[in-house]
A and B are shown apart, each in its own frame.
Chain A
């Protein structure tokens, strides 16, 4: 399948990556090239095949429902560009 500019703009929006208008067409070409190559998967007969969910096949462990970590607010906030009163700060969302 080849992607058009509008589709690329839509998925860029979904992915929260701004793409300037002039980049849409080249990106559409690149992604279409990759998807065209990927589509050889359609020739594989997968009727009745279960999709892979885990390569390991080991059961997941249960653990006790107890607090094992925490009390490290300064560590968590330490790499943020902007914080205030122990919170992350983002641009104003609600008018």
Chain B
């Protein structure tokens, strides 16, 4: 029984909760048991079982009254980058040691208002800086997937690796992630799950620990495209507390999912066919093209000439913004404090002890590119390149409705395999970063398995605030791909 409850989709659980064939309480309990039996994955920083039971009890009352919200009784996990009132919020960093917010992020507040049940806070790369979840102070998350016949641990991707692993291992029905350069989509691709980065401005950033403010965006991670549509509706909306959140209506994403893609124009950007891309990734992409063609869409070759510059430009813009955002961690107001010497020394020793190696690297790069004499050469040039990248997409939207690409240049890699080469690690985001640089919505969905039996993702990128078409095309691909792969539960302790 408990196994079948954890394998439900959000849509199915909603139906069964609605007709009272299951209760929110038993749904929560089966997930709590699954989480406790799956600690080997290290997917959670904090488990909040008591809170889940209390949330579920409230949901059961509302369900009985016929007063259910969009996510009433649905057990979810929250990336530990979201501040949650009264619950430890670490951003995967030692510098937020013991930090218990006195406030709730807008996105999670929206979800609780809609009846969601909180199971816990998921592990992540420190301050969302990483593509493998190995930079977390709380240790790496392991991918539930392994190569068949090979018991070596693989990374779940990052930075939302704990959320992705929790969704893939059926420890929650959905989870929140955040995506600054691919941190929702890349782990979704690595774990055979669905991840949606909405348009910049669609979800409020208020109460989410800031990494790179002009790029950060929260989004859903689920097992189906339809579930992503349900969750996004609950998460999204204008918020006066985030001046970059946009005051546009939140559509009913679910209602357009099954609409035919007939006549839609699907752009295939030549520049995403990068030298050295494995043949199996190219083959999967070709399958995606064929599936959409069969469904009646029109395939159009397009060019986004500045694609290759998106990643290096990102590695100026994101560290620059991070160096500024992370200046707040000073040992005075919250988190870790190492008392030593005068005020400056206290700052310096606290920050040296609190930040991990990758975060330090990025703060130093950011400080350097913003420092006197280098600002124009690096930061200003990167922001100009960013304009050109956004212009490339604008040109493409004259000819096509969405773009179809692979999500990542490779499937999940081994723990420790790339940790001593920062640039090799950065290259994992080469296909996801352009959408962040232009603020566009982008979805990753599982579309097949690699020759080694690991999930591979396809990415759909759309126009700003057109998540509807992105989800609709995603749903068409999901239908055609019929991906039903599931990792063997090697990690279960019972």
Contacts and interface: CB of A to CB of B under 8 A. Distances in A.
Interface of A: 3, 7-8, 11-19, 27, 30-31, 33-35, 37-42, 44, 46, 49-56, 58, 60-61, 63, 72, 75-76, 78-82, 88, 90-93
A17 B315 CA distance: 20
Given A17-B355, A55-B200, A75-B102, A49 B384 contact: yes
Nearest to B247: A61
A31 B364 contact: yes
A9 B348 CA distance: 12
B387 A90 contact: no
Contacts of B361: 27, 30-31, 34
Contacts of A31: 361, 364-365, 368
What are the 10 A-B residue pairs with the smallest beta carbon separation, nearest first? A55-B439, A51-B383, A79-B334, A75-B102, A18-B348, A46-B384, A52-B386, A81-B337, A16-B347, A18-B352
A49 B383 CA distance: 9
Contacts of B352: 17-19
B65 interface: no
Given A17-B363, A44-B309, A88 B422 contact: no
B332 interface: yes
Interface stretch (B26-34, B36-44, B374-382): B374-382
Given A16-B348, A56-B201, A90-B332, A40 B383 contact: no
Given A41-B309, A44-B385, A56-B244, A17 B348 contact: yes
The winner among B346, B355, B387 for most chain A CB atoms within 10 A is: B387
A40 B243 CA distance: 34
Nearest to A27: B364
A31 B483 CA distance: 41
B382 A55 contact: no
B233 interface: no
A42 B388 CA distance: 14
B102 A51 contact: no
A54 B201 CA distance: 11
B290 interface: no
B339 A91 contact: yes
Contacts, number: 158
Contacts of A17: 348, 351-352, 355, 360, 363-364
A91 B464 contact: no
Contacts of A19: 352, 360
Contacts of B103: 75
A44 B316 CA distance: 15
B388 A44 contact: yes
A34 B384 contact: no
B438 to A, nearest CB: 6
Given A49-B388, A90-B346, A79 B422 contact: no
Contact of B343 (A7, A33, A90): A90
Interface string B77-108: 00000000000000000000011111100000
Contacts of A27: 360-361, 364
A30 B426 CA distance: 13
A84 to B, nearest CB: 13
A50 B387 contact: yes
B331 interface: yes
- Point out which of A8, A40, A90 has the most chain B C-beta atoms below 10 A from its C-beta: A90
Given A19-B352, A41-B313, A30 B341 contact: no
B453 interface: no
B151 interface: no
Interface in B414-455: 422-423, 437-439
B64 interface: no
Given A17-B351, A34-B365, A56-B244, A91 B343 contact: yes
Given A56-B246, A79-B99, A34 B383 contact: no
Contact of A61 (B243, B384, B438): B243
A14 B371 contact: yes
B404 interface: no
Contacts of B335: 79
Nearest to B379: A51
Contacts of A78: 100, 102
Given A15-B367, A56-B244, A79 B348 contact: no
Contacts of A80: 332-334
Given A38-B378, A91-B343, A50 B422 contact: no
Contacts of B334: 79-80
